[in-house]
Amino acid sequence: MSDLPAPSDAELLDAYSRAVVGATERASPAVVSVETRGSGSGFVFTPDGFILTNSHVVHGGARLRVRLPDGRTGRATLVGEDPDTDVAVIRTDLPDLPPAALGESRSLRVGQVVIAIGNPLGFQSTVTAGVVSALGRSLRSTTGRLIEDVIQTDAALNPGNSGGPLVDSRGDVVGINTAVILPAQGICFAVGISTARTVALELMRHGRVRRSYLGISGQRVQIARGVARQHGLTQSGGVLVLSVEDGSPADHADLLPGDVLIALDGHTIAGVDDLHRFLIGERIGAAAVGALLRGTERLERALTLAERR
């Protein structure tokens, strides 16, 4: 018989397992179950009870409750939600909450190990692991707006995981788990924490995310090749104005139904998603020059962007 001491449990773990175990032990205490009409997940990100989750988890829920990993339960209130990015902030007054550490999603690399923690199908504190499958994805929100810089992962997500954290091997939160593609397997998405952090600060300040608006309804339309050549356009599409809201910036600038918006302040507007990317909060009250096609004529209109209500 060997006189060597038996290896400890920690020594029997390979490097990958140690990384997953360590990250889970660090992040799990901050992960909560969010109970409303259904159930989802969330995670504490400040010691005074602010919790990040998905907008679709809490939207329309009149009563919110959270359950902590230590078994404590308590009421929560909605601070604000942003369906455009599927991010929401709620708050509980339960004491002694361990906040999760927030990382940086912009520094992620494809192939990097990530761990999803949540409460799928009511099974609390469930852990799955995988890798970052792709970066810079776009995901359509419930409002029709694109969520940019979404993380794709093969860490398994199920109903109830929504709102829970996606963490790196250090246990730092790099994303909020938000969606799966059914019936595909291993194609899951998380909103990057860089986006979520910015949105959360706006929700904590204002209860909503402030964005500018034009006051039109529109859809992408193909620009005729002859018209594009006539005006030296390199884009193939623009936004066809279907209607103009009375008193809106578009109304004051004399935009008309049937116009095709092709640029704003030199930024190409080839479709509705380009328009959404342009209309950020920093442009509220700012002047802009809109380029449009009216029939075959190219026109420019001065606009002052207003805040969307």
Residues with catalytic annotation?
56, 86, 162
Cα separation, 88 vs 81, in Å, equals: 4
Cα separation, 124 vs 69, in Å, equals: 8
Cα separation, 210 vs 279, in Å, equals: 10
The single-letter code of the amino acid at 198 is: T
Angstrom CA distances, 31 to 71, 78, 223, 281, stand at 12, 17, 49, 31
DSSP 204: H
Report yes or no: 133 and 154 within 8 Å, Cβ to Cβ: yes
The single-letter code of the amino acid at 250 is: A
Q: What does the angle CA 229 – CA 231 – CA 235 come to, to the nearest 5 degrees?
A: 70
The single-letter code of the amino acid at 68 is: L
